[in-house]
Amino acid sequence: MANIGTTYEIDLENEVVRLYEVEGLSIDKLKVSTGMRERRIRELVKGRVRASSKAPSKATRKPSTPFAKSVEAVYALAIRPQGVRDYEVRNALHAAYGSTWNTRKGDYESNYDKDKIYRVKKRVREIAEERGEQTLFVMDWVNLQAATESREFLEALATNITDLLYEGVNDYMIAHAATPVAVHDGDDVANSKQYRAAFDHVAKLVIKSGKEPVEMLLKRTKEHTDHIDGTSDMPAPTIVEFRDQEPYYPEPIRHDSWLDAISSDLVLSIPVKPAPAWTVPY
């Protein structure tokens, strides 16, 4: 039978090693807690790695809030050489904050806003600065291999489109000005207002910059011009405003919202556009 004293001594030595490697106790604290001589303690822990006795920092704790989860996910992407794209930031926040079904639009909406995106990016930059890391946030349209060239290309494109739009509206005013261009003095308020309204109308149709859906805008303006071109004794068309016809879409029962979306009439009714000469990577 093993000697009881020897067994106790072995258990104590194992405990010293555990306290040093797992709990990070210093040699002084080990002397106090175990009563073992310092020389023997040093012999036992020689060559072993002492665990940190400090409590885990906030940066190493598993994130529990949507904000902390978003920061962790975005940080890991932002310190990569290629940085993080805007859509990747939004995906991270969508995964952390979740989404809510919108019964009016018939779609899921993310539970984050622009302020949360700003706060996440700000915190990621702060953490990177503390750790001596570099972050890179990249707009979705930027070509990383030719960032300046890609920006200048789109700026030139915007200028060309704007010039074309102004030229088109000028042609429109020559043909359809409220006061004939040949006789007005250039300060005609009606023409100035008409010019701006025409410009804004085209912008809404092309860029879809207005809150009103383009389909409703086209329907409303057609009814308006049809009435004007018709006989004067015809009653004016009754146009029900869009907000008075708010639809209601119940949240789908299935958990796969994409399958629900592609099986709906809304998606199936989207008109097919001609394919461009190049392939869009999505």
| pLDDT on residue 75 | 95
pLDDT tens digits for 249-266? 677 775 555 455 544 444
Within its chain, how far is the Cα of 204 from the centroid? 24
* Rounded-to-integer distance, Cα 33 and Cα 16, Å: 9
Residue-range domain boundaries for the chain: 4-45, 66-138, 149-210
Distance CA 43, CA 41 (A): 5
Please answer whether residues 73 and 123 qualify as being in contact, where contact means their C-beta atoms are separated by less than 8 angstroms. Answer: no
* Cβ–Cβ < 8 Å for 70, 118: no
Structure tokens at 11: 């258990």
- Polymer length in residues for the chain: 282
Arithmetic mean of pLDDT, 230-244: 55
CB 93 within 8 A of CB 110: yes
Give the distance, in angstroms, between the CA of residue 54 and the centroid of all CA atoms in the same chain. Answer: 36
Give tens-digit pLDDT for 115-148.
999 999 999 999 999 999 999 999 999 999 999 9
Mean pLDDT of the chain: 79
Judge if pTM exceeds 0.85.
no
Residue found under tokens 């926040």: 93
Q: Which residue has the tokens 């001596």?
A: 132
- Distance in angstroms (rounded) separating the CA atoms of residues 260 and 254: 7
Give the pLDDT confidence score for residue 243 in this predicted structure.
Answer: 53
- The DSSP call for residue 81 is T
At 174, give phi and psi (nearest 5°): -65, -35
